[in-house]
């Protein structure tokens, strides 16, 4: 009873709408603070001769357990009822606006995969804006980004800037939010003898963007030689083997879309009928069944 009242009072002059206020007011799990206070006062009550004070700690744990279970199972139905749940497939956040990332974002957008492309350079986002893509101009590691872009509909991140260390930092920062298996990054070519001195720890950063793996330089060089992001939808009569037979060499697969699911990098499963393959290829048209 007190939780909804306190939330309504605290947010009465904010821009948060009434649906969000109800949801925040409903979700009120109790935790370590309640248990600690009950442990303190329970002991004091027992010492003062009130034997029932010993029941405060188990009652506090029971309250914590019940609220966690109740709110944990009810938050999704409540969010759907209030029209606050994310509908549709999880999207992808692309950090770094380049010619090839804009092409990739355009392909994903055509497949109804939500895409946000961000860059700290305004002019780099011009082509993305002209293509009608959702863009964010600014620094993704700043508090401004957190306050001005809703990432609830985004489930994956690809860091593609020219700075390998920055890509690692971005992936490390967003890994707790998106999940360690959902953050990817490209790399920059460097001499083999320099890798041990300049590369980040394997426990930091994201997964390789492409299973080959491709670096930023590889993709740029391919684009200079006429390559672009292309797509093929497999069918029962045009499968994976037919796709490979359509090319002299197996092209680098960048992503696979299966229904409303997006797979990137080393997480790409074996392709099957009705999957859409996004790859780096040459030629004027996509390969089709």
* Band (212; pLDDT cuts 50, 70, 90): low
Residues 6 or more apart whose Cβ sits within 8 Å of residue 153? 86, 88, 90, 91, 114
Given the structure tokens 């442990």, which residue do they identify? Answer: 39
Cα(98)–Cα(102) distance, integer angstroms = 6
Whole-angstrom Cα distance, residue 35 to residue 238? 61
Residue in 95, 227, 224 with CA at minimum distance from that of residue 163: 95
Average pLDDT, the chain: 82
d(CA 215, CA 219): 7
Task: Return the structure tokens found at 186.
Answer: 């490209």
| Confidence at 203, pLDDT banded by 50, 70, 90 | low
Report in angstroms the alpha-carbon separations of 265 from 3, 6, 7, 167, 261: 44, 46, 43, 15, 14
Between 192 and 250, name the one with better pLDDT. Answer: 250
84 CB contacts (<8 Å, ≥6 apart)? 19, 20, 23
pLDDT of 191 reads 47
Task: Check whether 11 has a pLDDT greater than 70.
Answer: yes
The answer to whether residue 192 scores a pLDDT higher than 60 is no
Q: Is 31:53 a contact under the CB 8 Å cutoff? A: no
Which distant-in-sequence residues (6+ apart) come within 8 Å of 224 by Cβ? none
Residue 279 reports pLDDT greater than 80? yes
């Amino acid at each position: 009873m007190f939780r909804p009242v306190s939330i309504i009072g605290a947010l009465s002059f904010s821009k948060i709408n009434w649906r969000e206020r109800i949801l925040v007011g409903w979700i009120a799990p109790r935790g370590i603070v309640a248990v600690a206070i009950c442990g303190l006062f329970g002991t004091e009550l027992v010492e003062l001769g009130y034997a029932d004070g010993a029941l405060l700690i188990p009652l506090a744990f029971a309250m914590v357990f019940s609220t966690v279970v109740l709110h944990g199972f009810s938050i999704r139905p409540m969010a759907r009822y209030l029209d606050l749940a994310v509908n549709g497939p999880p999207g992808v956040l692309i950090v770094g606006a380049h010619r090839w990332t804009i092409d990739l974002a355009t392909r994903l957008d055509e497949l109804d995969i939500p895409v946000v492309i961000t860059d700290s350079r305004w002019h780099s986002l011009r082509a993305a804006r002209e293509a009608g893509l959702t863009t964010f101009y600014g620094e993704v590691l700043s508090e401004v980004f957190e306050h001005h872009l809703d990432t609830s509909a985004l489930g994956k991140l690809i860091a593609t800037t020219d700075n390998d260390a920055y890509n690692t930092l971005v992936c490390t920062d967003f890994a707790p939010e998106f999940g360690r298996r959902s953050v990817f990054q490209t790399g920059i070519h460097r001499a083999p003898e320099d890798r041990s001195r300049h590369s980040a720890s394997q426990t930091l950063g994201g997964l390789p963007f492409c299973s080959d793996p491709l670096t930023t330089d590889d993709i740029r060089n391919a684009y200079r030689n006429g390559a672009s992001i292309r797509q093929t939808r497999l069918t029962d009569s045009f499968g994976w083997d037919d796709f490979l037979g359509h090319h002299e060499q197996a092209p680098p697969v960048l992503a696979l879309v299966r229904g409303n699911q997006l797979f990137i990098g080393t997480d790409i499963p074996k392709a099957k009928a009705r999957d859409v393959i996004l790859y780096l290829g040459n030629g004027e048209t996509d390969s089709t069944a």
